[in-house]
Copies of this chain bind each other. A is one copy, B any other.
Amino acid sequence: MTYCVGLFLNEGLVLLSDTRTNAGVDNISVFAKQHLFQRDGDRSIVAMTAGNLAVSQAVINLVQEGLEHPDTGEIETIYSVHSMFAAASLVGAAVRQVYRSHGPTMKDQGVPFDVSVLLGGQLAGRTMRLFQVYAAGNFINATHDTPFLQVGEHKYGKPILDRAVTPDTPLLDGVKLALISMDSTLRSNLSVGLPLDLTVYPRDSLDLSRTWRITEDDEYFRDLRAGWSEALRAAYRELPAVPYSL
């Protein structure tokens, strides 16, 4: 399993992913699920993947190697597309190509064709976007009404996002909320694990240098986890007492 979350804020993007992959609980590994495509002054694109690792790695390879555009016949890569919409279309096309080549055998062997991709970023002179690409290659994008997207094990970490993330959330508050959301997930699902990869993309910066890997030794994250647990316990205690008499 995996948990990746992307916040689509007025100030920019917050992109956080774990690094655990597993084939059964007795076979876990560390694989980055966050892939950065940067060309200074031209484009800053980040893909975060969940699902079958062979499928998601194939997709990431294909968008870099390039795919033939169905209309123009030209080879397009993540570095040549002219918009984030085209980037999402390219990822979708890559997903369908992998489905055509691996899907039938995976189906025969009872392995679900399971992949989803969060794709965020911006091209020079264009608007910043955040997309979620599904296993069919189709996709949606985050809007002001729903300023976050999640892939993988999304349920445990959703309640805090539902309540606290708005488009106006400052970037560093967004980081804090994404880390809290990840903490709830780490705590409840063993197949999501440290270290974490974090990228913050300030809108219009065209710069992907703000990346951090958060390990078990990260003092801030350790304190945040303990502090959040304590804050939740304090918060429920401070709510009005239940009015039922026993």
Contacts and interface: CB of A to CB of B under 8 A. Distances in A.
Interface of A: 155-156, 158-160, 162-164, 171-173, 175-177, 179-180, 184, 187-188, 200, 202, 210, 212, 220, 223-224, 227-229, 231-244, 246
Given A159-B159, A162-B187, A212-B244, 15 more contacts: A156-B158, A163-B187, A163-B233, A164-B236, A172-B242, A172-B244, A172-B246, A177-B236, A180-B239, A200-B244, A210-B246, A220-B240, A227-B239, A228-B235, A235-B235
Contacts of A223: 240
B229 A163 contact: yes
Given A158-B156, A246-B171, A231 B239 contact: yes
Contacts of A177: 236
A240 B212 contact: no
Closest 6 CB pairs of A and B: A155-B155, A231-B235, A159-B184, A172-B242, A175-B242, A163-B229
Q: How many copies does the complex hold?
A: 2
A72 to B, nearest CB: 38
Contacts of A155: 155-156, 188
Contact of A188 (B158, B210, B212): B158
Contacts of A242: 172-173, 175-176, 179, 220
Contact of A240 (B200, B227, B239): B227
Nearest to A205: B246
Contacts of A176: 236, 239, 241-242
Contacts of A236: 160, 164, 173, 176-177, 180, 228, 231
Contacts of A202: 246
A80 B199 CA distance: 62
